Each structure stands twice: as C-alpha cells, then as structure tokens.
Amino acid sequence: MDENQSGQPGGKHPSPYIRLKRFHFIMLVFFLVFATAAITTLALAFGGEKAAEVGMKPHQEFEKLYEAYDKLEKNYYQDVNKEKLVNGAINGMIDSLDDPYSDYMDKKEANQFHESVSSSFEGIGAEIQEEKGMIKVVSPIKGSPAEKAGLRPNDRILAVDGKSLEGMSSSEAVLLIRGEKGTKVKLKVQPAGAKEPMEMTLVRDEIPIETVYAEINDEKVAHIQITSFSEHTAAELKDAIKDMEAKGMTSMVLDVRQNPGGLLDQAIEITDMFVPEGKILFQVEDNNGKREKMVSDNKEKISVPVVVLVDSGSASASEIFAAAMKESAGVPIIGEKTFGKGTVQTAEDFKDGSNMKFTTAKWLTPSGNWIHKKGIKPDIPVKLPDYANLSYLSPDNELKLDSLSEEVKTAEKMLEALGYPPGKVDGFFDGETEKAVKDFQKKSNIEQTGVLSGETTVQLMTDLREKIQENDTQKQKAIDTLKNEQTSSAS
C-alpha cells in the first residue's frame, strides 16, 4: 500500500502520512489481473495510518456476536476454523454497508493489493469493482491483454474459468483473474448493452506500470496520455513535458481516458503544475458536514495552452484532476462523461497482515460539486465512432455460412467499418458476409476459408483497434480546439 501526501488548507503537503482525523489520504489502486489489473485496479481511496491495536470494548451490541461465535465453536458438527469465522464476521459487517468501495482483505488478498502499486504485475490488465454483487470493469490498462481483447468500461465479468464471481468482492475476483505470464484464463463476460454473455480466453502477461506516453505532431501539438497515477507518474510526466518542449511543443493535449485513478499524491503533484497558486484542487467533507480544502501551492506552472480528454473510464484520481483543471484552471474538458466516484476511503492494516478499507467521507470539486455516480460532464462532448464501441469477438467461436447470432452482427459491423461490405447487417452469415470475410483474409494473407475464427478473428479486431486509433475523433477535436485557441490569441 502506498501512502499519499495530503495538505492543510492553503498549506504545503507536510507528510506522506496524514492523520486519520485530519484526513490522511491514501490512493489505493487495484489492478485486476486483468486484470488490474483486469483488475481491481486503482480505486481511489484516501486512507490513514495503520490501525492501532484495538482492545475489546464492552459494547453491549457485541454480546450477540460473541454468543454466536461460542455456539458455533462448541456445537458445530465439524471443527471450525476460528480465523475464518472472524474474517467472515468482519466481511459480513463490511458487506452490510452495501458499499462497493468498502472491503475486507485477508492476508493473501492484502498482499496482492500491496503488489498492485509495484513496477509491474502479471495478469490481464483491467480495473474492476464490485457493484450489487457483480464484478464490473472500470477500465482496461493501455496495451494489456484486456484492452486488446476488447474489454470495456461497464462490462461485467460473470465467471473465471467456470467459477461464478457472483457475490464475490473485487479482491476475491482479482485472486482468480491474476496469474503467471503466459497462462490462459477464460472469462465469461456480459458486454455493456449486450443481451447475451460471451466467453473469451485471454493470455496473461506482465503488466508494466508505465503510465505516461507522449508524442508530438507536425504542428507541434503534444499528445500526452496518462494511463494511471502510479508511484512515478509525476516524474514521468515532467520528463515527457521536457522532451516535448525540446521538440518545440506549442500546446498540449492531456489524455486521461481509460485512466482508473491511482495515487493521490501523484494526482495532486500533477494538478499543481497547471492550477494557479492558491486555487482549490478539491475538497473533502466528513460525515458531520465539515469540509477541508486542498489548495495549489506550486508557483511553477505550464505556460502552453492545454486541453484535457476524458471518457467513462476516467475515474477517481482522474476525476479529481479533471475537475480541478476545469473549475480552477479554466482548462477545456473534451470527450465523454467520466465514471463518477466521489467518495473517500480509509485503509487500515491489521497486525496479522489483513486489511480493511471503508468509506469515511466525500470528495468535492473545487466549486463544491459532488460527482458521485454522476461523473464530470465535458465542456465539449465528443463521442468516438460507433464501431469503437463494438464488443469482443471470441476467436474460439466459429462464425460461418448460415450462422445466426449477435456475434455475427458484430462481425458484420467490424467488416463494414474496415471497408469489406458484408451485405445486410442483420446477424445472418450469408454469401455476402462470407465473401467479405474471404476478401479480408486475402488482404491479411490468411487462408481464404470464409470462416471467421482463430487467426482471422484476432486480425479483424486488431485492424479495427488500429482504425479506432487512426480515427480518434476526441483527440482530433482536442487538437482543433487548441488551434482555434491559438488563432484567437494571435488575432
């Protein structure tokens, strides 16, 4: 677990540990083995110091709990695991909160959690969270098996290798999804908006926690993508900006799409680079309605024009960053509405190595808005092309002449988007669809069988992903906005 720095209103960030009563902030990140990767990956949490030793307190309401424990220990027909009973009791209390961001992790799960902020891990690379007894994808990690397979925000993972995830916590699901590089994991997935679930087999890989990717176009507009807020993200961003400046950068697109969050101190340090000194970064409100304000104290600011890209996979720390850029720095936000996580978690370790995190407060935008379950609306709404939202096709399935299914309809839409007319897009694999597949196979140097499966399916999804990147309408709108801004300034 990484500790995050916090600060007092108007002051500097004093310590990597923040007293619980003063809102020590810890950004917890769960990476699903996507997994974070698929992950539970970084969920925004603000936490405190390790739990102090707690002695037994004479709470009368505990008598029923003690009585139940004693009866089970003495009278159950088999020997009971005392540790498992205690863990189950804690789990029960946490589950009764009906809060997807509160969780209890036993020692094994806690160890996995702590590894989530290391330099790399092995899994499928997706962030997940538990919601109403189901496991939902928050965001895949850039370049991960999860992203390549087509997992998207709000997809639900129903089962792993035939084992149902219903009723499991995100921590429990991560243990099933993660695994050694090169091993396969079969997921049963309910794509967002789809009627029927599908199965997909992913090969786990090493998921490096490289978080900043920068490039510059011929017009000297830099595109800098921040995929998560990890231990070295601020330093990576500063290095990337220096590199872009050396190449003549005149403006910057900061891209936090599909960024599930991360370490709060990194988000603060990065936001400080853009928000004017003395302006509010975000606020925290406790259960008594008392608010604390986090204020920018960095005097060195980025001077070139900036816009920020967001989407439904931008969550937690990404939303803190985006809200501050929008409300305190006046930076345009472009794209789609963000995920909507506006609560604060405290994380505490027990002496046996287990861990409990629970919601203790709300975080608010600089203007005092609570974006929980609402998200942040962009100043300039822009959607990606419809084909960017097509669901995954399983290479294990065979789609051929006379097949009739939703998968066939998805395949027809993919072929159409790539310039291979499949005839009527109706979910029926007819002669025109077969010809389109053969034409695609010929262009891709694949045996022309007219059957969509295996290598053909993988190549089809790869080509579509490249087309989406080449026709990134959100990124292009960001570049056009910067051009217009610079033109207006010049005139």
Q: Report, as residue numbers or ranges, the catalytic residues.
A: 316, 327, 341
Q: Give the residue among 287, 222, 381 at the shortest CA–CA distance from 21.
A: 287
* Alpha-carbon span 276 to 325, nearest angstrom: 10
Task: Give the dihedral of Cα atoms 388, 394, 397, 400; nearest 10 deg.
Answer: 20
Decide: helix, strand or coil at residue 103. strand
Phi-psi sector, 326: left (phi>0), alpha (psi -120 to 50), beta: alpha
State the amino acid at position 348 in one-letter form: E
Tokens of 163: 């084992």
For residue 87, give every residue at least 6 positions away whose Cβ sits within 8 Å of its Cβ, in sequence order, or none: 104, 106, 354
Which residue is it, tokens 């980025």?
302
* Helical ranges in 211-279 per DSSP H: 233-246, 264-272
- Number of Cβ within 10 Å of residue 473's Cβ equals 14
* Residue 470 structure tokens: 């080449």
Selection from 90, 115, 83, 85 nearest residue 104 by Cα: 90
- Cβ neighbours around 233 below 10 Å, total: 25
Helices H, strands E: what count in the chain?
Answer: 12, 19
Q: Are 86 and 170 in contact (CB under 8 A)?
A: no
Q: How far apart are CA 418 and CA 413, in angstroms?
A: 9
The residues with which 356 forms a beta bridge, in sequence order, are 104, 348
Beta bridge partners of 251: 221
Q: Cα-flanking dihedrals φ and ψ of residue 357, to 5°? A: -125, 145
Strand partners, 135: 130, 157
Alpha-helix residue ranges (DSSP H) falling in 76-177: 82-95, 107-115, 145-149, 170-177
Beta bridge pairs of residue 213 = 225
∠ CA 65-92-57, rounded to 5°: 40
Residue-wise DSSP of 190-230: E-TT-SS-EEEEEE-EEEE---EEEEE-TT-EEEEEE--B-
- Angle, in degrees to the nearest 10, between helices 170-177 and 107-115: 70
Rg (CA), the chain: 24
